[in-house]
Amino acid sequence: MSEFFAGLWSSLLRVDIMDGPVPLTVYALALVGLVVTLLWRPTRRSLLGALVGAILGDVVAVGLWAVFIRGLNFYGVGLGLPVYALLAATLAGVGVCLAALLRRGTPRGGRARRNQADADAGQATTRTKRAGGAGVARRVVAALTAVAVVAAGTLAINAAFGLNATLASLMGIVVDDPVDLPAPSSSDPAVAPAHPLWSTWKPPADMPKQSQTGTLHIPNTHSGFAARDAGIYLPPAALTNPAPRLPVVVFMYGLPGSPDPAPIGRVVDSFAANHNGLAPIVVVVDQVGAAVQDTGCVDSPLGNSRTYVMQDVVPWIRANLNVFSDPHYWTIVGYSNGGQCAISFGTEFPNTFRGVVSVSGEEFPGSANPAATLKQLFNGDSARYEQAKPINMLAHAHLPDSTAVFTAAKDDATFLPVARRLAAAAQKAGMHTSLRVLDHGGHVGVAFYSGLQDGFAVMYPVLGLSQPGTDAVPAYVVTP
């Protein structure tokens, strides 16, 4: 029986919550419930109560915005007008349901007048029971509708961000999905190809049409860091036999986040489809750990995140995946919190990573709350904190063999200036630097997908996966 429930829970965690029947059903239930709640024997008083409830819900939404976004800067960035509108709509719907729960169950015409005019006491009692039963039913519907409204609002806000496709990803849970790794190539991983892959690779007739994603357990032997299992993306070319050695991408999400390979896999798939199945192997690393904390990708009392990446993940990739060991074919990519980590690793370890893509990346560890970060990550050592900031690292670096791409959206007032500053610093450090300013996207899913597409467009020819001299073109554009 326990296996049955474990399997059921695993299936629920894998349900698509952005597209398909599940979110549509939840939206429909919330809408129908609100209509029924409003039209259940409506009176002027009940409709006025619903209006007051909706207004109070919006007042609460504004209060949450003022405290957590403007006051505490809880997320380190504005969440965008669509998210605020969805939050206000959700709390307004909850307010309508609460008003219905508090509504007094007086039938139209007035129970008192009906009872006075009713000569039969038995009939009066029957009317009272019926009215009471109808009131209970109305409250049950209102309570269930409130739950449906909260669920619908959560799914809608999640869809606006566009990153968590499953319940597991939304909850930060990694569902065990191990993959069978292809046999390593017989070629020497340290030897770069004589000619770029794009010019020599001929896909076999039996090459799979689809990529493969799953999970990896990477031992934390050196770091002891409590990371969740990593995600992996294997492009079609990696699934052939014999398979060619490929470039590798180490990828990190923002905070909170889950090492789910599906979102970045969608972007890489769009390029693989246009380049004979060629794409990097992608390893999605959990730099924030199972506790989901801002580690800043440094070794600190919160855990040895930096040692985990460099001394556990990197050697594991070299030993187990069919990739080149030449740093020219290693790229580190990150979004938001992970973007800061990417430029930090790429600057400090150019003998491991020669490519960097920072998508709407933070400027330095804990940029949303520097005072708390100084205490939590650096034990109050200001000098160490300054040394860990990528812009200061770049000021002392000389990286003529490295390539860096920075992306951010025009309507991201927080991270676009950061991208500009880091791009200027990277260029001064000698990196081949690209700054891509997206037309729109804020700091949500649109910026994530568009930024990754721009980043891979630049990196594909650098990695030998497409013809040099021009950006690579995906087969289709990926959006949330």
pLDDT in tens, the chain (480 residues): 566 766 677 778 888 888 889 999 999 999 999 999 998 888 889 999 999 999 999 999 999 988 887 777 666 666 777 888 999 999 999 999 999 988 875 544 444 444 454 545 455 455 545 545 667 888 899 999 999 999 999 999 888 877 788 888 888 788 878 888 887 787 888 788 889 999 999 999 999 999 999 999 999 999 999 999 999 999 999 999 889 999 999 999 998 888 999 999 999 999 999 999 999 999 999 999 999 999 999 999 999 999 999 999 999 999 999 999 999 999 999 999 999 999 999 999 999 999 999 999 999 999 888 999 999 999 999 999 999 999 999 999 999 999 999 999 999 989 999 999 999 999 999 999 999 999 988 888 889 999 999 999 999 999 999 999 999 999 999 987
**Domains of the chain: residue spans and CATH:** 11-161 (no CATH), 175-462 (3.40.50.1820)
- Are 423 and 406 in contact, with CB atoms under 8 Å apart? yes
Please give the torsion angle defined by the CA atoms of residues 424, 305, 213 and 181, in that order, rounded to the nearest 10 degrees: 120
How many Å apart are CA 248 and CA 413, to the nearest integer?
Answer: 32
How many Å apart are CA 35 and CA 19, to the nearest integer?
Answer: 24
pLDDT at 133: 61
pLDDT at 415: 94
pLDDT at 117: 47
pLDDT at 74: 66
Report residue 333 CA to chain centroid gap: 14
pLDDT at 110: 46
- Are 235 and 281 in contact, with CB atoms under 8 Å apart? yes
pLDDT at 359: 97
User: What does the DSSP assignment read for 135-168?
Assistant: HHHHHHHHHHHHHHHHHHHHHHHHHHHT---BHH
pLDDT at 75: 67
- Are 175 and 168 in contact, with CB atoms under 8 Å apart? yes
Amino acid at site 327: P
How many Å apart are CA 29 and CA 466, to the nearest integer?
Answer: 48
pLDDT at 108: 47
Which helix (H) or strand (E) segment holds residue 216: the answer is strand 212-216
> Could you tell me which of 310, 326, 345, 340 has the C-alpha nearest to residue 248?
326
